[in-house]
Amino acid sequence: MKGMWTGLFVILLVSLAGSPFRIHEVSHVPLFSGSDAYSYLVEQCDFGPRPPGSNNLSLCRSMISEKFQSFGWDVTFQNFTYHEVECINIIARWNSENNSPIILGAHYDTRPPGTSSTGSGLGANDGASGVAVLLELSDILQNDTRSSVEIVLFDAEDSGGISGWDWIQGSTYYVSQLSTERRNSIHAMVLLDMVGDANLELPREGSSTTSLQNSIWSIAEQLGYNDTFIDSYRGSVTDDHRPFLEAGIPAVDLIQVPFPSYWHTLEDTPDKCSAESLEKVGEVIEVFVVEEANSITEFPLDQPMLLFIGTIVIVILAIPIIYIQLKRR
């Protein structure tokens, strides 16, 4: 009977988790430099606040694009208009004709100034940190890995609730332009948002694809970064991974939750961030990309209704067993 209880417990855990925890034996030695990533963070902040349609964002976009190109990537701009504002997503590919199976994303805009109780600041953590990690990755990834990656920096993510604007407009537009063939070719979308805080903690985000989280969190465990990649949930976030999930594409959001106290204030400045935090995140994603480039994995989407039904069935089956055990006492 004890074995039966153990079996039921294991089945319940697997049902609730959505997929087994995938253990990685990390062999790749990361090349990622946190200090270089931090310098990219500061460079973005030097332009000042960078809301959609602003000259500051245009200048920052030019700088980012030039860096991608200097590292050998092909850069294209994806233009769209939202509420009469010209917005631009930045897309970097190693081979413009290649349907890369991994998308790495971040937003590069900031919230407009004066839109919170103290006004919005430089967006060092909220925006610049994710971009900084992706710029460093674009430099250090080896050529035989780069063709597996497409890097997308989204515009118009962070102006929700202002003058009728909604959130995540750059990613929404990007996904709307994907052909069916392209959607089917994407195995994983990894979003980096607020990953630079000096006291960084990244719990599992509630809406992200569990199997994809499992892969990334197991790498973090192998690298000894359990203090940063927290194996628990602290809520769900409306962010640039959501349009991908809605399109049936496995996606994960790496984001600091709860948001830091300086979020959307003048205090979101580079001194709140650290090269060490950027390096931890960068190394984990570097290892993930290198492993998946060599062996592209299918990450099954979560099926909440099936999991719910499965859990109910397990509970119903367990009731008579519990009853029998109580009767024998």
Q: Is the domain defined by 26-302 classed in CATH 2.60.40.1260? A: no
Q: Please report where in the chains the tokens 């118009």 appear, as a residue.
A: 156
Residue 171 has a CB neighbour count (10 Å cut-off) of 26
C-alpha span between 158 and 112 (Å, rounded): 8
For 319-328, how does the pLDDT look when each residue is reduced to its tens digit (9 = 90+)?
Answer: 665 555 555 5
**Predicted confidence band of residue 196 (pLDDT cuts 50, 70, 90):** very high
pLDDT of amino acid 313: 47
User: Does 15 have pLDDT greater than 50?
Assistant: no
C-alpha span between 219 and 221 (Å, rounded): 5
Beta carbons of 48 and 41 less than 8 angstroms apart: no
For 287-306, how does the pLDDT look when each residue is reduced to its tens digit (9 = 90+)?
Answer: 999 998 877 788 999 864 34
C-alpha span between 109 and 153 (Å, rounded): 9
Query: Three-state DSSP class for 254?
Result: strand
For 58-113, how does the pLDDT look when each residue is reduced to its tens digit (9 = 90+)?
Answer: 999 999 999 999 999 999 999 999 999 999 999 999 987 778 999 999 999 999 88
Q: Average pLDDT, stretch 264-268?
A: 94
For 45-54, how does the pLDDT look when each residue is reduced to its tens digit (9 = 90+)?
Answer: 999 999 999 9
User: Does 5 have pLDDT greater than 50?
Assistant: no
C-alpha span between 94 and 145 (Å, rounded): 9
Structure token pair of residue 42: 């500061």
pLDDT of amino acid 232: 97
User: Does 220 have pLDDT greater than 50?
Assistant: yes
C-alpha span between 221 and 229 (Å, rounded): 8
Secondary structure of the chain: what % helix, strand, coil (to 5)?
Answer: 45, 15, 40
C-alpha span between 201 and 254 (Å, rounded): 10
Beta carbons of 108 and 47 less than 8 angstroms apart: no
Mean pLDDT of the chain: 87
Query: Three-state DSSP class for 198?
Result: coil
Q: Is 312 left (phi over 0), alpha (psi -120 to 50) or beta?
A: alpha
C-alpha span between 273 and 263 (Å, rounded): 12
- Quick check: pTM over 0.75? yes
pLDDT of amino acid 12: 39
pLDDT of amino acid 324: 54
pLDDT of amino acid 60: 98
Q: What is the dihedral of CA 15, 17, 23, 24, to 10 degrees?
A: 130
> Which residues face 253 on adjacent strands?
191
pLDDT of amino acid 328: 55
pLDDT of amino acid 95: 84
pLDDT of amino acid 221: 97
pLDDT of amino acid 98: 76
Q: Where are the domains of the chain?
A: 1-18+304-329, 26-302
pLDDT of amino acid 302: 87
Beta carbons of 72 and 96 less than 8 angstroms apart: no
- % of residues, the chain, pLDDT over 90: 76
For 161-186, how does the pLDDT look when each residue is reduced to its tens digit (9 = 90+)?
Answer: 998 999 999 999 999 999 999 999 99
C-alpha span between 178 and 199 (Å, rounded): 37
